[in-house]
Amino acid sequence: MANGIDSSVINSVNAGASAGASLGPRQSAELQDSFMTLLVTQLQNQDPLSPMKNEEMTSQLAQINTVSGIEKLNESLGAINDQIGAGQTLQASALIGQGVLVPGERVLLSQGEEGEATTTPFGVELAQPADEVVVTITDQAGQVVNRYEMGAVKAGVESFSWDGQTSDGQTAAEGAYRVRVEARRDGEPVAVEALNYAVVNSVTPPTDGGEVRLDLGAVFGRVGLSDIKQIL
């Protein structure tokens, strides 16, 4: 007469312990009821000449308790994640109406009534300090409008502004332009990312374990809170 719980039940318990997040409260309760029923039946019908050892019973009880413990842990983690998401949403809501720098290469130029140029800021994010940073402004056709040597720039995020001037000292036409950034340190390329300006229109709370999403309008769409590199 066998003294252990049926292996299929043990396998079910182990599977539940490994993937406790996939078990609902009802499934977990049913699994525990089945396990205890089989354990009691086994104890009642075990071979009196070879009874189940204490360590065997303890091991089997520990497995079902593991499932219950993981379920409670998942419930606690879920509540904590909800609180974190709510806090992030509240913090992100303060960005509504604010200008931010996000990955991108777009810069806009507009002209006032007297012909003065106004441009949106742009930025760069460097993985490490660079002793030579060159910014090139191009039009939509890819033609170079102007080129600037920014000198040494430290690691991290730095914001800049374009004066709207072409290489021959004229005010560029109103419209959208692109920013291309090149960086070097001791003659070797440095990883760099161009950043463009956008305004936060609204905030969407996180769903399914994701992050807070920010609406930057029709051009830039929605981005994650982690995509915000600088608040202007």
- Count of domains in the chain? 2
- The residue among 150, 170, 174, 169 whose CA lies nearest residue 161 is 150
What is the pTM assigned to this prediction?
0.63
Confidence of residue 207 (pLDDT cuts 50, 70, 90): confident
- Containing structural domain, residue 115: 99-231
Query: Is residue 172 located within the same domain as residue 147?
Result: yes
Rounded distance between C-alpha atoms, residue 23 and residue 102, angstroms: 40
Confidence of residue 1 (pLDDT cuts 50, 70, 90): very low
Residues 6+ apart with CB under 8 A from 77: none
Residue 1 in domain = no
Query: Is residue 60 located within the same domain as residue 167?
Result: no
Rounded distance between C-alpha atoms, residue 162 and residue 36, angstroms: 73
Residues 6+ apart with CB under 8 A from 173: 109
Averaged pLDDT for residues 25-52: 66
Note the pLDDT of residue 20: 46
Q: Has residue 205 got a pLDDT over 50?
A: yes
Confidence of residue 89 (pLDDT cuts 50, 70, 90): confident
Query: Is residue 146 located within the same domain as residue 68?
Result: no
Write b or e for each residue in 100-111: b if 16 or more Cβ atoms lie within 10 A of its Cβ, otherwise e. Answer: bbbebebbbbee
Averaged pLDDT for residues 102-125: 91
Query: Is residue 111 located within the same domain as residue 189?
Result: yes
